[in-house]
Structure 1
Amino acid sequence: MAVPSNEYNYDVEKVRETEYPMLKEYLAELSGNLYGNPHSESRSSRLSTARVQETREHVLQFFHADPEQFDVVFVLNATSAIKLVAETLTSLQTGSSNRPLWYGYHIDSHTSVVGLRQLASAGYRCFESNDAVDHWLETGSHIGEDKSIRSSPSTTEKPPIGLFAYPGQSNMTGHRLPLSWPGRLRRSNITANQEMYSLLDAAALASTAPLDFSDPFYKIFGFPDLGGLIIRKDAAHIFQERLYFGGGTVDMVICNGDPWHSMKSSSVHAALEDGTVPFHNIIALDCALTNHKHLYGGMEQVSRHTSRLTAMLYHGLSSLRHQNGKKACQIYKDHSSSHGDSRTQGAVIAFNIRSEDGTWVMLSDLEAAANEHHIHLRTGDVCNPGGIARHLELAPWELLRNFMGGVRCGCKNIIIGHKPSGIARVSLGAMTNVQDVETFVNFVQQTFVSSLSLYIQNILVYPIRGCSAWWIADTTPVNLTSNGLHWDGQWCLVDLQHGTILTPKTAPRALLVHPEIDSDSHTLRIKVHRSLWTYPMIHSNVVVHMDREVSDLGHTSSKKDIHMFWDEDTGTIQTFLTAALGIHCTLARIVDKEPRDDDNETTPNNLDALTIMDQSHQSNDSGLTNGSHKLNDYDLSNHPPQVIGSQRPRQVSVAETLGANIVLAPVCTKGYTHQIGRHYFAYIGQRRQEANEVEEEGVRQTYHLAQIRESELSTQGKLPNEFRASCVTKKLLSNAMNRSDKIAYPQIHTGQIVLA
């Protein structure tokens, strides 16, 4: 779940270190200049007027809007821009024009856009899909009849004026709708029979995509709180019908006698910006535009950056599963959207969380947990009634039922009919980085996803290939090296007559050879099963001093391995093994140890993880907090480490037959009892590093390949290769392996907790 560092379009880490310089520049701007009301002619007022005009031109440039064809009107926010359009449309219907309004809007529209339908005296239409809009634009007609807020239309009204509104991006799911619709509408035969205009709500789209329409600037830059309406000058004449006028929009007003006023006509914005414009915020906007260009280069770079991170987040959340295999996150998306494709999907993900039993997690619980982790979410209906109804599959009668049941805007705890009434939304932006995405996915996983809690019951090492396992029956720690468990597969038996490595097929008796490692004395002890005691000399052990290596035999036929051979002047090792196995052989150590079996195959992408908990660092800094597992949550009294004895436990014998390194058993958690007798067998392979991990503190995440599966305590008909072929490959992570205070080798031992 990572993005290569070379795919960043700007150095977001460096930018985050220095933070936005915009506020500093804004404060310097205000402290170095005195700005006055732009409606006056004082020096401070003229300075404000000039800076506002500069910002206006800067905004049009930012959105690639030609000043000859467009003008920008500063307003409070996106809703204020929509209200300005609503005022104009109301004036058209009630003023001298007496033009009724027909209104069409997309189902994914924001509540503020939907609200315009209340003004549609000639009827309105909710387009319930992109296909419905395309059909209308192509044919000039739409399926079904228009709805109306009137019982019957007036026969004296003039031909209606039409308005089609839709969001550039759903503020709920991030689904991006075609920006070609306004142009197609202007070229369609619809406009031949009816005066038709389009309104694009780009509030959500503008933060991570390049465009040239109306936007709330605070959603792009964070500060200032300001909005804008970009108007094509060809359509400016409809705003001349607006009845209301405010300060600064008129050249003359007669208050007594016959009422009369003259609207300003020097520019579109002059007649529409009521009152004193928020010039301090507009100046701050100019600072924001300048710094945005300096930091990111342009919205194209922001779009590519956020698209990659959104794909990461989508994959991370969609891959979360409870221990019973059920998905933890229900992600809502349009069927035509593809996360990572900026043409169809924005940097937004809408979702709900299910518990292991399938019930919905309350949004209030999610939000409370997020607040504790300093994560900021948007929850509820997010002012998108159409998207909520469509994606939560709520029919109109269900919405009315929910309303009668107490569901209101802002309600987050009401689930009626087994359906949630809202969603959680995560939004990414220009300053979001890979760590933010991983932090959120880890938060959801650790807080709301049930994991299978196992503990290491037995550890087996196979020092000599093809021979019996060394069963570490106590809590002695074993190092995890680059090739797996320390000492695992480092020796072999070589046929001195043919120069080949012995295998269980060529030397079945080798399975009765029992090697053990004594790390204190740095020796390898070899003993054999009593059934091979054909000569008195092999009744006891043979001890190999690992620092006495004699190189080499020189005629082994193996091309993959390089061997060094042991023996003393008396030939004890060779004599012992030859007598036990009935084959002229000796012991060899593999110097350049090759990956065993299929360890050298390409690592699959997006592996699930097994995490070995490091008890000494199991605290808040280990990354496991609320909702995570801690060692004191478990009862290991019923699962003590095996004591040393002559007879191996059944699961150890099974693991040895299967060639497994580790035997894991479910932990009995407080208040929850796992099925007795369940065991998981795992084989630990090579150490790997995330190939695409963005480096953090110069270190990439390290893990071992592990093949694991649950198995009954029966080995009938099973061989190691067959068993491993049926295993699931996972990443075996160790807290110690990825700690900042690196140790030479991380260790594992029996009794450790493993989170699956």
Structure 2
Amino acid sequence: MESYWSEVCELGSLESFKESWPHYGFGVEQRELIQREFTRIKDITYLDHAGTTLFPESQVKRFYEDISRNVYGNPHSHNPSSRLTHDTVESVRYRILEHFNTSPEEYSVIFTASCTAALKLLADSFPWVSASGDHLGSLFCFLTDNHTSVVGIRGVTGPKGVKTVPVSPQEVEAKAKDFPVAVHSGHECSVPHLFCYPAQSNFSGRKYPLSYVKGVQSQQLYPACEHRGRWFVLLDAACFVGCSPLDLKQHPADFVPISFYKMFGFPTGLGALLVRNEAAELLKKGYFGGGTAAAYLAGEDYFVPRSNVANRFEDGTISFLDIISLHHGFDVLYKLTGNMVNIQLHTFGLARYTYMMLSCLQHNNGQPVARIYCDNEFEDASEQGAVLNFNLLDCLGRVVGYSQVDKMACLFNIHMRTGCFCNTGACQAYLSISNQEVKRNLQAGHVCGDNIDLVDGRPTGSVRISFGYMSTFEDCQSFLKFIINCFVEKPLRLDKERLARLRSVVPAEASASEELTTVPNGRTVSEAKDLNISPAPVSDALPIRGVLKTQKNREKARTLTNIFIYPVKSCAAFEVTEWPLGPQGLLFDRTWMVVNENGVCLSQKRETKLCLIHPHICLASSTLHLQASGMDPIALPLEAIDENPNLRKCQSKVCGDRVQAFDCGEKVSVWLSTFLGKPCRLIRQSSDFPRDMKMGQDKGVCPATLSLANEAQFLLINRASVALLLDHIANENDCADNNTSFDMIQLIHRFRANLVISGLEAFEEEDWSDVKIGGALFQVAGNCGRCQMIGINQASGTRTQEPLKSLSECRSGKVTFGVYLLHQPQRNSNAYPTLSVGSTVIADAKNTSK
């Protein structure tokens, strides 16, 4: 069929974008900036700056040179190296306050382990007054569009008898009109209350007015206008300060938690609580750690805190080298960008352009491609940050699950974030999820941070992209091409009226008036210029999404056609015609694993060359052989090595499970490191450290132990399912995937199954409950959810977008392929059967009757 990729090779030009938005860049070409400071993101479209931005290479080099030249000692000592540390840290404090246009006379900087730690510090030390009798006591109030770490303060206030008041964004100003300032007793006039709100929503990027700070402090806004007392404001600036300037002289919030990796990308694990000195004196300290005491007695309850606010609250030795690195963060940030206003305008322009184009994309039937969650039209950088939150829709208006979008994005090397972003309140509001639905979703198995993206067809979360100062116009193009390539029913259409309206509100100095003249395919001249789309004919042979499971395989019986063992996790398959089972699956399957120098598992997702390492097991000689092109073969013993005192124990993780293993020695480590071009080691699972299988336990699946396999003991795929997918790929194959061709065997290898059968019907295996292969009985534990790893050519190690792209298309967004099995041993028998190619396969269907 005809290709659609040629239609979207260019989504506008950089020159035309610069004409409409002159604030792009920082006086140099963005590509030059990337080549000089961010070489590691070559071929990556990084769009998760709200999660963490990226550090420039010169920042780390300067920091390295600094700590290489200077000796920094513990700041609690008084020797010269310690004084150097103390003075440098104090200089950094001043630098932070200067960045936010304030001074040590107005604010103090308390360093913490993170922004969340800063919030917890405030929760523990705020002078809460418990309600008693007729006295209301303190109020803990927060905007519902707040990060989990802010809402979590109620875990401290609740047991203290402090009332919690959630406030919706609509109530702050609207309800203020309904409540004149009430007259209360003198006692209540001194009661401290805390109102928390984000300067910028980490969900939608909406910027809340900084004027709320003084509005709440002066009791002109809800809920402060309803309750007398002393109102303090916590301004959560973590998401805001990465791309926007914050002036604390103009907006003097009492408490401002920040996270430095959101600003600089490095260091991680360092935050701060900026405390207005007027409010600092009210904070009460409970626990005291090293360095916080002016004096104390060990044998008597006597403690005097230090007078300096920072010294009083920074328990123990601060992370002084991380703090010192901030000097170089500020230096490089200003050198590369000039100031935060430049960053704000640059990133807002990219976000606005992406919003305009995404909101105007339509399927061939005129249905919108995306549902965008925002409160404005991206018209003003003071109201909207460089964040775009959305869900994609199919041509029938159904939501495409965010997990599916994320998996497809990985094929295009686009890095973004999905879920609810630790902001349940905003997620509920924008996605119209009721409290009852949240509880029902939990009962259905959905928890925060998992991949259950749809429950009963309704989304549990969304997709978020966000920009940083090193983001480029090409990043916008790559993202939009990805959306069009994977999720738009062709031919692409545009909402012309909307696009014209959005353009009309661009600032006059940043836009040029264009006459909108109709061109073929229902587009306008200006739209065609922006998208540079050359119309392509629509093939009548375009496959219909949602292929039904009705393609019959002509074979008369199901048989086992292939057996694959993967002795070393993520390395090449070892094919056999017969093989014994063991207590954890096929004998020696995924018994070994390659790890990096830090003991972290290496998979083909991180290192595709693993598939070029070919393991071979010789049961006769009891050896494992490893072979790879250009390398001499190497052999290792198969027998148990747990008792060998010369091999050290080590630990790693597989799918979140801790596994205990033994290092296989220096010789094989050198061999692997030489071939892969990076330090790595080979480890073997310890036989006395069982790993329990979790999959299916809530559905009655029998307990089982696992090797180093991800989910289950066995993975089975069906040749009839492979054939259906192969036909779809042949029909869809186009230049977007470099005309990659597949045959049956190549596609089978992509799915890395243990057992391959000749089925009667495509995807029938998903309806099975049990299956008997030869004399061995297996229970079906669940479907195998696929990811971008099936896009790795097992013969060359190269990445392709297929077959995940076609799998999603032909299965209406589902990306499951194959089923997990676990062996059901015969009762009163310790013997394990042997599987043989050619064995008959007999399956039992699930009992769906009620």
Please give the range of the TM-score, normalised by the shorter of the 2 chains: 0.5 to 0.7
Pick from 202, 206, 210: which aligns with 2:241? 206
Q: Tell me, what secondary structure is at the counterpart of 1:164?
A: strand
Residue 374 (1) aligns with residue 392 (2)? no
Q: How has the CA–CA distance of structure 1 residues 15 and 142 changed in structure 2, closer, same or farther, with 3 Å as cutoff?
A: farther
Measure, in 2, the Cα distance between the counterparts of 1:328 and 1:75. 43
Which residue of structure 2 lines up, in the alignment, with residue 263 of structure 1? 305
8 Å contact kept, 2:518–2:524: no
Measure, in 1, the Cα distance between the counterparts of 2:122 and 2:204. 26
Q: Tell me, what secondary structure is at the counterpart of 1:30?
A: helix
Q: Tell me, what secondary structure is at the counterpart of 1:429?
A: coil
Measure, in 2, the Cα distance between the counterparts of 1:74 and 1:63. 16
Residue 78 of structure 1: how far off its partner (Å): 1.2
Measure, in 1, the Cα distance between the counterparts of 2:164 and 2:409. 40
Measure, in 1, the Cα distance between the counterparts of 2:533 and 2:479. 19
Listed one character per residue, the Cα deviations across residues 2-53 of structure 1 (whole Å, up to 9, x for unaligned) are 6216432402332222102111101100111111110101111111111101
Q: Tell me, what secondary structure is at the counterpart of 1:351?
A: strand
Pick from 458, 473, 478: which aligns with 1:419? 458
Residue 333 of structure 1: how far off its partner (Å): 0.5
8 Å contact kept, 1:132–1:142: no
Measure, in 1, the Cα distance between the counterparts of 2:492 and 2:298. 79
Residue 236 (1) aligns with residue 250 (2)? no
Residue 669 (1) aligns with residue 669 (2)? no
Pick from 290, 312, 322: which aligns with 2:331? 290
Residue 124 (1) aligns with residue 164 (2)? yes
Residue 216 of structure 1: how far off its partner (Å): 0.7
Which structure 2 residue ranges, 5 or more long, are not aligned?
1-11, 38-55, 249-255, 494-516, 547-734, 737-850
Which residue of structure 2 lines up, in the alignment, with residue 343 of structure 1? 382
Residue 164 (1) aligns with residue 86 (2)? no
Listed one character per residue, the Cα deviations across residues 334-373 of structure 1 (whole Å, up to 9, x for unaligned) are 2xx2314111100001111112233222222211122222
Which residue of structure 1 lines up, in the alignment, with residue 260 of structure 2? 217
Measure, in 1, the Cα distance between the counterparts of 2:543 and 2:163. 62
Residue 16 (1) aligns with residue 16 (2)? no
Residue 54 of structure 1: how far off its partner (Å): 0.7
Q: How has the CA–CA distance of structure 1 residues 48 and 138 changed in structure 2, closer, same or farther, with 3 Å as cutoff?
A: farther
Q: Tell me, what secondary structure is at the counterpart of 2:85?
A: helix
Residue 275 (1) aligns with residue 316 (2)? yes
Q: How has the CA–CA distance of structure 1 residues 395 and 166 changed in structure 2, closer, same or farther, with 3 Å as cutoff?
A: same
Residue 186 of structure 1: how far off its partner (Å): 2.3
Measure, in 2, the Cα distance between the counterparts of 1:69 and 1:672. 62
Measure, in 2, the Cα distance between the counterparts of 1:453 and 1:185. 48
Residue 55 (1) aligns with residue 92 (2)? yes
Q: How has the CA–CA distance of structure 1 residues 137 and 81 changed in structure 2, closer, same or farther, with 3 Å as cutoff?
A: farther
Residue 300 (1) aligns with residue 300 (2)? no
* Length-normalised TM-score, structure 1: 0.57
Q: How has the CA–CA distance of structure 1 residues 110 and 598 changed in structure 2, closer, same or farther, with 3 Å as cutoff?
A: closer
Which structure 1 residue ranges, 5 or more long, are not aligned?
144-155, 455-596, 614-663, 674-734, 737-756
Q: Tell me, what secondary structure is at the counterpart of 2:274?
A: strand
Measure, in 2, the Cα distance between the counterparts of 1:312 and 1:142. 44
Measure, in 1, the Cα distance between the counterparts of 2:86 and 2:179. 45
Measure, in 2, the Cα distance between the counterparts of 1:313 and 1:671. 29
Q: How has the CA–CA distance of structure 1 residues 371 and 665 changed in structure 2, closer, same or farther, with 3 Å as cutoff?
A: closer
Q: Which amino acid aligns with 1:7?
A: H
* Length-normalised TM-score, structure 2: 0.51
8 Å contact kept, 1:412–1:422: no
Q: How has the CA–CA distance of structure 1 residues 672 and 439 changed in structure 2, closer, same or farther, with 3 Å as cutoff?
A: closer
Measure, in 2, the Cα distance between the counterparts of 1:409 and 1:66. 40
Q: Which amino acid aligns with 2:94?
A: E
Q: How has the CA–CA distance of structure 1 residues 451 and 50 changed in structure 2, closer, same or farther, with 3 Å as cutoff?
A: same
Q: How has the CA–CA distance of structure 1 residues 141 and 442 changed in structure 2, closer, same or farther, with 3 Å as cutoff?
A: farther
Q: How has the CA–CA distance of structure 1 residues 141 and 329 changed in structure 2, closer, same or farther, with 3 Å as cutoff?
A: farther
Q: How has the CA–CA distance of structure 1 residues 24 and 332 changed in structure 2, closer, same or farther, with 3 Å as cutoff?
A: same
Measure, in 2, the Cα distance between the counterparts of 1:222 and 1:321. 36
Measure, in 1, the Cα distance between the counterparts of 2:492 and 2:193. 61
Q: Tell me, what secondary structure is at the counterpart of 2:108?
A: strand
Q: How has the CA–CA distance of structure 1 residues 406 and 298 changed in structure 2, closer, same or farther, with 3 Å as cutoff?
A: same
Measure, in 2, the Cα distance between the counterparts of 1:672 and 1:255. 73
Residue 452 of structure 1: how far off its partner (Å): 2.9
Q: How has the CA–CA distance of structure 1 residues 250 and 282 changed in structure 2, closer, same or farther, with 3 Å as cutoff?
A: same
Matches within 5 A, 1:141-540: 160-188=191-219, 190=224, 193-211=228-246, 212=248, 213-225=256-268, 226-239=270-283, 241-256=284-299, 258-265=300-307, 267-334=308-375, 337-452=376-491
Matches within 5 A, 1:64-75: 64-75=101-112
8 Å contact kept, 1:135–1:142: no
Residue 4 (1) aligns with residue 18 (2)? yes
Measure, in 2, the Cα distance between the counterparts of 1:279 and 1:346. 32
Listed one character per residue, the Cα deviations across residues 150-187 of structure 1 (whole Å, up to 9, x for unaligned) are xxxxxx99974210000001100001101011112222
8 Å contact kept, 2:257–2:274: yes
Matches within 5 A, 1:730-745: none
Measure, in 2, the Cα distance between the counterparts of 1:61 and 1:274. 25
CA RMSD of aligned residues (A): 3.3
Listed one character per residue, the Cα deviations across residues 689-711 of structure 1 (whole Å, up to 9, x for unaligned) are xxxxxxxxxxxxxxxxxxxxxxx
Q: How has the CA–CA distance of structure 1 residues 379 and 670 changed in structure 2, closer, same or farther, with 3 Å as cutoff?
A: closer
Q: Which amino acid aligns with 1:8?
A: Y
Listed one character per residue, the Cα deviations across residues 608-643 of structure 1 (whole Å, up to 9, x for unaligned) are 664467xxxxxxxxxxxxxxxxxxxxxxxxxxxxxx
Listed one character per residue, the Cα deviations across residues 42-96 of structure 1 (whole Å, up to 9, x for unaligned) are 11111111110111100101111122111111112111111011111377659xx
Residue 668 of structure 1: how far off its partner (Å): 1.3
Q: How has the CA–CA distance of structure 1 residues 305 and 52 changed in structure 2, closer, same or farther, with 3 Å as cutoff?
A: same
Q: Tell me, what secondary structure is at the counterpart of 1:370?
A: helix
Q: Which amino acid aligns with 2:343?
A: V
Q: Which amino acid aligns with 2:23?
A: E
Q: How has the CA–CA distance of structure 1 residues 327 and 453 changed in structure 2, closer, same or farther, with 3 Å as cutoff?
A: closer
Measure, in 1, the Cα distance between the counterparts of 2:373 and 2:241. 21
Residue 141 of structure 1: how far off its partner (Å): 6.6
Residue 260 of structure 1: how far off its partner (Å): 1.1
Q: Which amino acid aligns with 2:359?
A: S
Measure, in 1, the Cα distance between the counterparts of 2:179 and 2:71. 55
Measure, in 2, the Cα distance between the counterparts of 1:603 and 1:135. 44
Q: How has the CA–CA distance of structure 1 residues 135 and 255 changed in structure 2, closer, same or farther, with 3 Å as cutoff?
A: farther
8 Å contact kept, 1:167–1:201: yes
8 Å contact kept, 1:99–1:159: no
Matches within 5 A, 1:88-99: 88-89=125-126
8 Å contact kept, 2:128–2:138: no
Residue 105 (1) aligns with residue 119 (2)? no
Measure, in 1, the Cα distance between the counterparts of 2:168 and 2:448. 22
Measure, in 2, the Cα distance between the counterparts of 1:277 and 1:90. 25
Measure, in 2, the Cα distance between the counterparts of 1:361 and 1:141. 47
Q: Which amino acid aligns with 2:304?
A: S
Residue 602 of structure 1: how far off its partner (Å): 9.7
Q: How has the CA–CA distance of structure 1 residues 99 and 395 changed in structure 2, closer, same or farther, with 3 Å as cutoff?
A: closer
Which residue of structure 2 lines up, in the alignment, with residue 45 of structure 1? 82
Which residue of structure 2 lines up, in the alignment, with residue 576 of structure 1? none
Q: Which amino acid aligns with 1:168?
A: A
8 Å contact kept, 1:100–1:158: no
Measure, in 1, the Cα distance between the counterparts of 2:180 and 2:147. 24
8 Å contact kept, 2:189–2:230: no
Q: Tell me, what secondary structure is at the counterpart of 2:153?
A: helix
Q: Tell me, what secondary structure is at the counterpart of 2:464?
A: strand
Measure, in 2, the Cα distance between the counterparts of 1:233 and 1:169. 24
The alignment of Structure 1 onto Structure 2 pairs a total of residues equal to: 464
8 Å contact kept, 1:453–1:667: no
Listed one character per residue, the Cα deviations across residues 298-356 of structure 1 (whole Å, up to 9, x for unaligned) are 1011011111111011012112222222111111012xx23141111000011111122
8 Å contact kept, 1:250–1:271: yes
